[in-house]
Amino acid sequence: MTKSERTDNRKLDELRPVKMKVGVIKRADGSAEVEFGLTTAIAAVYGPRQIHPRHQEKSERGVLRCRYNMLPFSVSDRKRPGYDRRSTELAKVITDALEPALFLEEFPKTVIDIDMEIIQADAGTRAAAINAASLALADAGIPMRDLVCSVASGRANKKILLDMTKEEEDAPDAIDLPIAMMPRTRKITLLQMDGVASHKDIEDTIELAESGCDTLYKMQKKAILKKYGSK
Ligand code: ADP
């Protein structure tokens, strides 16, 4: 794709600088940190373990319990501490994005807890959190059908863009379309969209996000190999 018309000089189809690190919370069974430019997410996994409160137990399968939270200093306006409606909704969509990758039927009566904290936020926090959670699950040694990769793409100022910043998302014609995908089977496990768009723009946006997921997949595998050694 073509020359940059973006405020940070990226190409239209270029991700922000991405950093991924596996094993950042030593106390956890698995953990990871993922940065997309000025967006940073940390995920910690505990389990499979006995579920509390016990009434949440499912006799036939395990439960995946996700929590998503933005820290007060993650944005310049200082966010009110704690969970709110947005974080509850994001925890739900992130759970649905990750669950298809897991074999929960193999872990009846247990819970896998994933806590995701957004350290700094400049759009794309759910995507960063999903990538971090997926790496943390792998780090915890939990069997998975595939890693789950996630990125948002969209439209701003009439251009279809990969991995938009908050400034780009605030454009008057913006659409914001986060997806999550299991690249091996190309199954999409999350697809959301804000804004008004033509069929063609939606198709182009999804295609661009899928190519972003392919790039992230390679980075995720590299981050795991970096911790576990084999080159
Ligand atoms: P995502 O972070 O997945 O793109 P949203 O579209 O809900 O999810 O949020 C876009 C961006 O808006 C966030 O990444 C963050 O930069 C900003 N934002 C969200 N909630 C708040 C808040 N309570 N205070 C300030 N900024 C926020």
Express each pLDDT in 32-55 by its tens digit: 999 999 999 999 999 999 999 999
Alpha carbon 215 to its chain's center: 14
Ligand 1 binding pocket includes 139 (Cβ within 6 Å):
no
Residue 230 has pLDDT above 90, yes or no: no
Ligand 1 binding pocket includes 16 (Cβ within 6 Å):
no
Atom of ligand 1 nearest to the CA of 128: 3
Question: Could you tell me the pTM of the whole model?
Answer: 0.97
**Is 127 in a helix, a strand, or coil?**
helix
Summarize the confidence of residues 75-97 as an average pLDDT: 97
Write the single-letter amino acid at 138.
Answer: A
Ligand 1 binding pocket includes 188 (Cβ within 6 Å):
no
Ligand 1 binding pocket includes 76 (Cβ within 6 Å):
no
What φ, ψ does residue 115 adopt, rounded to 5°? -105, 125
With beta carbons less than 8 A apart as the criterion, state whether 220 and 18 touch: no
Residue 231 has pLDDT above 80, yes or no: no
Residues 6+ apart with CB under 8 A from 65: 51, 56, 95, 111, 112, 113, 114
Ligand 1 binding pocket includes 163 (Cβ within 6 Å):
no
Q: What is the largest CA-CA distance in the chain?
A: 56
Other Cβ atoms within 10 Å of 158 Cβ, number: 9
Distance 152 CA to ligand 1 centre (A): 13
